[in-house]
Each structure stands twice: as C-alpha cells, then as structure tokens.
Amino acid sequence: MSQETIHAAERAAGQVKTMSTYDPDSDQLHEECGIFGVWAPDRDVARLTYFGLRALQHRGQESAGIAVGDGGTVMVRKDLGLLDRVFSNADLSTLSGQLAVGHVRYGTAGAKSWEASQPHLSTINSVIIALAHNGTLVNTDELRRQLIELGVPFLSNSDSEVATKLIGYFTQRTGHLREGIRKTMELVRGGYAMTLINEQALYAFRDPHGIRPLVLGKLVDEGLDQADAASVSQLPSQDGAVTVDATTHVTRAGGWVVASETCALDIVGAEYVRDVRPGEILRISAEGLVSEQGVPAAEEPANCIFEQVYFARPDSIMNGKSVYACRYDMGRQLAHEEPVEADLVIGVPDSGLPPAEGYSHESGIPFGEGLIKNRYVGRTFIEPTQELRAMGVRMKLNPLRDNIEGKRLVVIDDSIVRGTTMVQLVKMLRNAGAKEIHIRINSPEVIWPCFYGIDTDVQSQLISANKTVDEICEYIGADSLAFLSVEGLLKVMPKGGYCDACFTGRYPVAIPESFGRDKFMEGFKPRNLDKPLHFDDDAVVEKYDDRSWEEKHGEA
C-alpha cells in the first residue's frame, strides 16, 4: 500500500471538516529558539552575543536574553520582546565578562512569560549556571514532578527549566558540572541543543539524534597563527576526550563560538569549524576546548528537515550545503514532479523565493516578483482590530499588480500548515487580477505533529491531516495544488540522516504516552509511544569514584 493511500485512509478515519479562523501568526510554523555562546576573554562578549542573536532573530521573537560570566559570578538580562526592545547600549555595557550565552525564544513548551524566557539561572551551592536551550523535551512532566518531590523549586513550566534544574541537582550530587550535564543527557528525551556557562567555562551539548542544529566556530585575530583551527575540525575521536592546548596565542587571542546556525558565526567574524556532534559535550575555558561523548550517538542522525525547508536563513550552511542551494534544488525537483503551464513563477517571501527560482529554471517559465513583503512587520504587542486581523496577509504581503494581472501564476511556498494564510493569499492574488493560480509547495504535506521543537504538536490543527490534496485545493480557492514528494525532498538534501516525522509519522525519539495523549486524531496510529523514565536516588552512584576526567582536565 502506498504512503498516499495510507494517508488517505487515515484522513477518512479522522476527518475534521472545519478549520480554525484566521490569526495573523497562527498559520506559520514556529521553531522554538536560537542560541549563541561565546568564550573570548579579550572581546566584548555581551555585544558579540547580541549581534550573534541578531542573526538568529528569525528563530524567535517572543523574548531575548544574555548571560555573562566574569570569572566570579554570572549576570543575566532577559525580557519579552525583540532584541532591540530588550537591550540598550547601556544594558550591554553593564554585562562585562569573558564568556556569555544568549537566547531568542519562540515558546513551544511553557507559558509566554518572563519566567519562561531564557537563559535560565540556577545555583549549585555557591556556583551560578545559565542555560540556553533550543528544542523540546518530551519527558519533562515526570522529571519535574520528581524534582519537586525532592524539594527543587520551579519558576515556570518550561522544559528548559527542568533541564537546568536537573543539571543543578546532579552536579550537587557528584560535585562536577560535567557529570551533571552527562546525567541529564542520559535522562531527557527529545530534540535539543543547549549552551551553558558558569563563571569560567562555556559548555555546549546536543541530543544524540542531532535533531536541533548546533555549530562550532573560531574567533581568530588577523595576522595570528591559525594552524590549530584546521586541526580542531578533525577532532575529537568518538571514543575519547581531546584537549586543544590553550597556551597557543590563537586560542588566547581569539576565542570560540557556538550557535544554532552558521549565519551567526559570519556576523561576529568567526570561522566555521564543524557541527557539534550528536550526544557530544564541549567544554571551553582557559584550558582550551575539551570534547567528550556525553551519551552515545544514535545509529542514524535525525537532523530536522524543516531547517532547510523553512527555519534556517538561506545564507546558513547545513551539512556542507547552503540552505539557499537546498531550497533552489527543491524547486527544480518540484518542477520535475509537478509541472504546469503558466506565464510566471513567483515565490512567497522569504523562504519561497529560492525554490521559485529553481522551479523557473527547470520549467523554463519566467521568474518574477509578485509579492512585496513589508520588511518592518515583526511580532507586535499591539493587537490589531478584528477588521485588520481579517486582512491578515496584507499586514505582511502586498501583491504587485503590474506583474501578475492577467497572468497564469505558479506560486511557490514552503508549506501549508493550517491553510488559513493560503486562503487569504489566493484571494489577494485573485483580487489583483491573476488569471490562474497554481500553488506548488516545496515540501511534502505536514500530516503528523512535531514534538521536537515546532509548535504543531496537535494533529487536528493540520489541514493535511484533515483533507485530501483536492479538498485543500478547493478550500484555498486555487486552480491546482501539488506538494513535493518525500522522496524528492530527500533526493536534493545533502548527505546525512533527517527527521521527517512531520511528513511520515516516523518519530526518531520515543514519545511518552502522557506527552502524546490527545495529540493524535482518531484513525491515526501514534508511533513510538513509550513510558517515562524515572531516576532513583542512587542514579549517579556509579560516577562518585570516577575522577579520570577531572584528573585530566581540572574541575568543571
């Protein structure tokens, strides 16, 4: 039985005829956040972090925060809003130190509140740590309950705070921050990339499937020897820790950066070294860069495929290929799979533009600009009136009538989630004089909920889980509609394993039954449901006498 036949049967069993009313921000995929970390004693780390986060602002617009360590303590400033709203020049001037972590958030787990904003602070005896997290943990309800029973207080219901408190709890038990991180990685499940600082060291670590992205970069002053930068890209081996000598003037005068995307390295002048490996822990301090495998990497990596489809900036590099090139090739493949006779190919800004160019190149249909984006519309705290909300798309896009009037259009967009935005878009193009509108989507249908960092964790919200392609086409008012196949998408992706659960229902990380309950529609068979983990008081006893790491590398 084909995958399409299976999906059709599942849709029929769980058919939902009505869709939600339009909300300007509800019909887009949102990724949880962007993170940035830097160790650079000779630099203004707060400002480096600020500009790194500026490059990652597309990953989260609800809150922003920066924590700085100065060798004696950790200071943090965070608040709701965009970076420019949260930080002034005076704020950054007060955050002086040698290392920092920063965060921009779009919340998928936890309330939209100051308490849920990051970095999260926690105290471990007299030591302060600050953690920034990208992704979603699926088994934190049980872990939070157990921590509360042990007397650990919480300020929010976010999964990120659970991770922070777990690290603090196990660090107190073992006396070593590295062991606290390792034990937490053994317990939590989901997709995550995290950066953490105490007063003197920067840590970075990633889930064993590598679902959420995290890259390592090097700050190198001009004119200094860069020989060790090349050697680091070859390290570490999978079975042992490797230390880079911190006495060389490259490490001392330069520094290290970790970030969600390479575009954040570019803006601060850092050279890309490599991706942080699945399950890896990096520790960066005055001793240099130390790496070890915190938990075993999964047999197959599962990078989030929607990074290349939508989330990441087109100028970022992922798995050795630019995001722009990936999207361009998606458009070329889409033209092969779903051709149509038309006069003009246009893309929905911004992520729809590269695949529109690719579709045009492959089909021979001219590419043109048909939609103008208002570049100064971001997330706002000022609620629009109902009349303005009904206009929806016009707040962000406006049709270029001179280009589209009387023409048969191929309109390329990255995805259809709930469908309400596309209804508005098609209607707007019709009113501007388009003769025909053929919608082409450069990703497969989003049929299954995501539990690893995208805010689509309730399947009934997804139009492709409710309707067939023909029904969606009728609902949005287009002349035709087609999606890129899963096979076609994977064909143009760079080498590496990917999580495509939102298209196929194949979840790489088991979902606890309590977390997945009521998230799937009737007739859809949930994949990978599991029981939550429990940690006992003796959970870390086996590490009490293990001092080998500290003997080699010093205390955390």
502 marked as binding residue: yes
**What is residue 267's predicted lDDT score, i.e. its pLDDT?**
97
The predicted structure's pLDDT at residue 542: 32
245 is in an annotated binding site: no
Q: What is the pLDDT of residues 145-155, one digit of tens each?
A: 999 998 888 88
Calculate mean pLDDT across residues 228-247.
Answer: 41
DSSP-assigned beta bridge partners for residue 553: none
CB atoms within 10 A of CB 475: 19
C-alpha dihedral, 537 to 543 to 544 to 548, nearest 10°: -170
Mean pLDDT of the chain: 83
User: 46-50 long-range contacts, Cβ below 8 Å, gap at least 24?
Assistant: 46/92, 46/93, 46/95, 46/96, 46/97, 46/100, 47/92, 48/100, 48/257, 48/268, 49/100, 49/101, 49/102, 50/83, 50/87, 50/92, 50/102
Token digits of residue 266: 């570019």
pLDDT tens digits along 339-358 = 999 999 999 999 999 999 99
pLDDT for 253 equals 54
Report the pLDDT value the prediction gives residue 512, as an integer from 0 to 100: 77
Cα–Cα dist 278/302, whole Å: 9
Tell me whether residue 326 is annotated as binding. no
Nearest to 492 by CA among 354, 347, 334: 334
Which sign, positive or negative, has the C-alpha torsion 547, 552, 555, 556? negative
How does pLDDT run across 281-330, given as a tens digit for each residue?
999 999 999 999 999 999 999 999 999 999 999 999 999 999 999 999 99
Position 167 scores a pLDDT of 94
Active site residues per annotation: 33
Q: Of 142-156, 169-183, 352-366, where does mean pLDDT reach its minimum?
A: 142-156
Percent above pLDDT 70 for the chain: 78
Residue 272 reports pLDDT greater than 60 = yes
Contact of 190 with 501, CB cutoff 8 Å: no
Please state, in angstroms and rounded to a whole number, the distance separating the CA atoms of residues 96 and 527.
48
Q: Provide the pLDDT for residue 114.
A: 72
pLDDT tens across 495-519, in order? 989 999 999 888 898 887 777 778 8
Whether 527 has a pLDDT exceeding 90, the answer reads no
**What letter represents residue 191's amino acid?**
G
Going by pLDDT thresholds of 50, 70 and 90, the confidence category of residue 424 is very high
Nearest-angstrom CA–CA distance, 218 and 314: 21
Please check the confidence at residue 381 and state whether its pLDDT lies above 70: no
Residue 445 has pLDDT above 70, yes or no: yes
As a residue count, the chain comes to 556
Burial class (CB in 10 A: 0-12, 13-18, 19+), 487: exposed
Residue 272 sits at the vertex; the CA angle it makes with 95 and 167, to the nearest 5 degrees, is 55
Is 316 marked as a binding-site residue? no
Does the annotation flag 263 for ligand binding?
no
Question: Six-digit token pair at 205?
Answer: 């670590």
Q: Is 340 left (phi over 0), alpha (psi -120 to 50) or beta?
A: beta
